Structure 1
Amino acid sequence: MTDDELRRTIGTLMPDALTRLAELVRLPSEFGADPERRRACADAAALIVDALRDLDFPDPRAVPTSDGSLTVLARRQGPPGAPTVLLYSHYDVQPEGTAADWTHPPFELTRDGDRLYGRGAADCKGGVVAHLTALRALGDACPVTILFVGEGSEEQGGRGLDHYIRSHPAEFADVDAALILDAANPGPGRPAIVTSLRGVVVSRVSVRTGTRILHSGTFGGAAPDAAMALIRILASLRDDTGDTVIDDMPTPQIPHDADHRADADYPEAAFRENAGLPAAGRVLGSDDIATQLWARPALTVLATDLPALGEAVPAIRPTARAVVNLRVPPGVPARLASDLLTAHIRRHNPWNAEVDVEEVISSDPFTAPADGPAHRTLAGALGAAHGRPAVTVGDGGSIPLCGTLRAVAPRAEILLFGISEPGSNIHAIDESVLLSDLEAAVVAEAMFLRDLGTDPRQRKEEEQT
């Protein structure tokens, strides 16, 4: 099938693709304890299984995993000697927050011009639909073996899928290339392949300074305040430039050749617009923006357990808690970063308060070479689909699957690309995806599968002779 034939075929398939995306977006598939949302996760998995069955996968199934989530797994054999390509995305989503803050209903796919709004439209139900539509476009002409993986708890750390893969390595050992459709592009219509990801550590910090609530007039000034102790601990994790500072944290240098450096530049004006920063607001950090986002640690306070304004009373609280998210730079193991974060918090504990640090999530950073044959094939397909060359960039996010796949399939090329861009507002209100970028991703993936499968260098029997 030629490039033009693929484009025309996919153009005719896009209305059905959007119908399928609307069905998935309608389901509030946030993985967690809420029974209704757990049912929505199961329903989303069932929709994907049905779609794979329609694509002639012989035994698609929703597999229960150790964290209680369902991972959709399916394999369809290609011609003899064909390479095996893993297609990954996830169908679980972040909570929507306050629905009234959305311009469009969070769980109703709404088109406004070229944008499709709805929770999961970009992250990452749109990715699921892109995979399914690319496979449908190729039909019986798909020249590779496909291993489809649809995760159900990625937004909560992906421990279920991680455990499943490590417990069933033989199911993944033959993967030659993995298309991870859960990354971001630097802008609308600007395709990118992501070759580095920061890792992540999420920890819960608990502070205790006493045994009971005290009157702030009677005891204030001598009795320590747990809230203030927590604030001082958290403040010690950023310096005056805004850099995250953790005692003894390594600062690895990520090498960039001239071409990569040009790709990675992130102009301040573009960053300000994308981040919605006020004119007087400072851009944080002592390095350039791309390095700050992709190659340096970044600590964020996700939540605090302190009295709300409506509960304010003149009292000294004996306990305070926070959840912190540390993005770990490439080159630093998450285990080391977590240990250093804990040690820093304990070392910067004021007033000898009781401090407990509990790790909730940990995932290593990831880097991938940009010179493999599958990488070159994807770069060519993305360039052809978007009408401009694909760039190679880093990403500040984390995808636990990447490190797990490397452990069980060390020869596989792991390729990250995506359909979102800064205007997609993933993890925030008014999440959206550009229809043009979604369709271009489908075209690029179909071209990639076609070209990889017809490349004589990828045929497995040649390795065995």
Structure 2
Amino acid sequence: MDTAGRVDALMEGLRADLVRLAEIPSVACPGFPEEPVHAAHDLLVELLRGVGVEHIERIDLPGTAPVIFAEIPPPDPAAPTVLLYSHYDVQPAGDEKLWLSPPFEPTPIEGGLRARGIADDKANVIAHLGMLRAYEGRPPVGVKIVFEGQEEYGSPFDAYPPTDPERFACDAMVIADLGNLRPGTPTLTTGLRGAADVIVEARTLTEPRHSGEFGGAAPDALLVLLKALATLHDVHGDVAVEGLWREAWSGAGYTEDEFRELAGVGEELPLMGSGTLGERLWSGPAITVVGLDAPSVDHATSAVVPYARAKLNLRFHPRQDPREALSALVEHLRVLRPYGVPLTVTPGDTGPGFEAVTGGPAYRAALDALACAWGTQPAYIATGGSIPLVNGLARAAPDAEVLLFGAQDNLCNLHAPNERVLLSELRNTVVAMCAFVENYASRAAEDRAKTNG
């Protein structure tokens, strides 16, 4: 039986295990019970043992959920080793009234299943297991498995791999925490934008003052802040902060109609910025006002506002140094004097972006594998989101090729109500992972033969 046939024979069991895993409300955010997170951990250990994985460890770090680390030795010492990553925690369900079915009761839909976390990232966990089952636990490469339990909230594990590089040493990594540009379009993600937070404040009066008596001369802190925020973008909506990188995007991208549907932007409204959507979303910067402290409309009084504060989220080019990007935004704000008023600017957390090296044997093997699984040539994209652990793993294994693909697609409603996964995407991802390890092992053997030739 060929690879696709073996995977097809496994799909009923993989679907059942995905349902079991998605039934567990494994939210690892503060305020949620720990027991479901540990239950998901224990189920995955059970499933790994069931496929014949013998070496399984639990990594416990302060302040985070347990990490599953498992290892299958290579079939021969010369075979390459591939690290497989996914996470078993999920986002909170949010407002359950917006769901068409209970978020932790996996529900059949046309072509797939609906549940919180079923795409992000439990389908990808199951895809890794599916590849191992297809080879009865003995794939043609060495395998290291990392299943994380607190990715969605953030975890000290992000910084752990470089402290233990031998454990994470490998020749290639498959980071399965994302997926295809759209269903049916096999996609490799080659870049992740970096992220940083900044808080900017304006203080003008000791306390509110009557707007009729003092308005017009007393400096309004909210107007000061709004004038400062307005300098962050030009008339087109492009970021106007000097020092933030932007370059042309040459990969695949959304159509404008796709993006409008995904973002919920009506046809009557323009999109912000200029240039291709790839530039605006992936290879250029974005600055978003994600929070604002000011009097609410419902509780407003006729008074000059003495204090206002905003939190900004910056996304920057995958290759730009995070300190350089953060500094560019901080300095832009610090030199402003809206209506002569200085601002208080406080830099917050920052995380680096990532750009994968392409063209190596693992990358070529992955391109062929994706084409084999979906029957069409793969695209490459970047993403504006971030996966902080990728940089930690890349520092631990600096010579390893990093491949980002998986069973999600950009229409799956991750982090939103009614998250879903398509079983065709899960099936094809398992086929692609099988084809990848076969291709990669074969290419490595050919390279050894040429070297020894």
TM-score normalized by the length of structure 2: 0.90
Aligned residues: 451
| C-alpha RMSD of matched pairs (Å) | 2.7
Please say which of residues 96-105 and 447-456 is displaced more in the overlay: 447-456
AA in 1 matched with 2:110:
G
Aligned mates of 2:184, 2:324 — CA distance in 1? 38
1:199 aligns with 2:187: no
- The SS at the match of 1:122 is helix
Structure 1 pair 314/17, CA: closer, same or farther in 2 (3 Å)?
Answer: farther
Residue 294 (structure 1) aligns with: 282
Aligned mates of 1:276, 1:213 — CA distance in 2? 38
Deviations 1:227-273 (A, max 9, x none): 4443333332222211122233233x35x7xxxx3x52543233333
Residue 180 (structure 1) aligns with: 175
1:342-357 maps to which residues of 2 (within 5 A)?
342-348=330-336, 350=338, 351-353=340-342, 355-357=344-346
Aligned mates of 2:107, 2:337 — CA distance in 1? 49
Structure 1 pair 39/324, CA: closer, same or farther in 2 (3 Å)?
Answer: farther
- Report the CA distance between 1:39 and its aligned residue: 3.4
1:132 aligns with 2:129: yes
Residue 45 (structure 1) aligns with: 41
1:414 aligns with 2:414: no
Residues 208 and 318, structure 1, Cα contact 8 Å, conserved in 2:
yes
Unaligned runs of 5+ residues in structure 1 are none
Please say which of residues 202-211 and 441-450 is displaced more in the overlay: 202-211
Aligned mates of 2:366, 2:195 — CA distance in 1? 27
1:19-418 maps to which residues of 2 (within 5 A)?
19-36=16-33, 38-81=34-77, 82-157=79-154, 159-173=155-169, 175-251=170-246, 253=247, 261=250, 263-348=251-336, 350=338, 351-353=340-342, 355-360=344-349, 362-418=350-406
Structure 1 pair 247/17, CA: closer, same or farther in 2 (3 Å)?
Answer: same
Residues 117 and 430, structure 1, Cα contact 8 Å, conserved in 2:
yes
- Report the CA distance between 1:66 and its aligned residue: 4.6
Aligned mates of 1:317, 1:27 — CA distance in 2? 47
AA in 1 matched with 2:328:
L
AA in 1 matched with 2:227:
R
- The SS at the match of 1:155 is coil
Structure 1 pair 314/133, CA: closer, same or farther in 2 (3 Å)?
Answer: farther
AA in 2 matched with 1:403:
N
Deviations 1:116-145 (A, max 9, x none): 222212221211111112211211441111
Unaligned runs of 5+ residues in structure 2 are none
- Report the CA distance between 1:178 and its aligned residue: 0.2
Residues 132 and 138, structure 2, Cα contact 8 Å, conserved in 1:
no
Residues 119 and 420, structure 2, Cα contact 8 Å, conserved in 1:
yes
- Report the CA distance between 1:333 and its aligned residue: 1.0
Residues 177 and 413, structure 1, Cα contact 8 Å, conserved in 2:
yes
1:427-446 maps to which residues of 2 (within 5 A)?
427-446=415-434
Q: Percent identity?
A: 37
Aligned mates of 1:414, 1:274 — CA distance in 2? 27
Structure 1 pair 320/371, CA: closer, same or farther in 2 (3 Å)?
Answer: same
Aligned mates of 2:228, 2:448 — CA distance in 1? 55
- Report the CA distance between 1:165 and its aligned residue: 0.4
Structure 1 pair 49/249, CA: closer, same or farther in 2 (3 Å)?
Answer: same
Residues 233 and 240, structure 2, Cα contact 8 Å, conserved in 1:
yes
Deviations 1:439-462 (A, max 9, x none): 111111122123323444378899
Please say which of residues 130-139 and 56-65 is displaced more in the overlay: 56-65
Structure 1 pair 168/240, CA: closer, same or farther in 2 (3 Å)?
Answer: same
Residues 83 and 460, structure 1, Cα contact 8 Å, conserved in 2:
no
Structure 1 pair 431/458, CA: closer, same or farther in 2 (3 Å)?
Answer: farther
AA in 2 matched with 1:12:
A
- Report the CA distance between 1:306 and its aligned residue: 4.0
Aligned mates of 1:346, 1:69 — CA distance in 2? 39
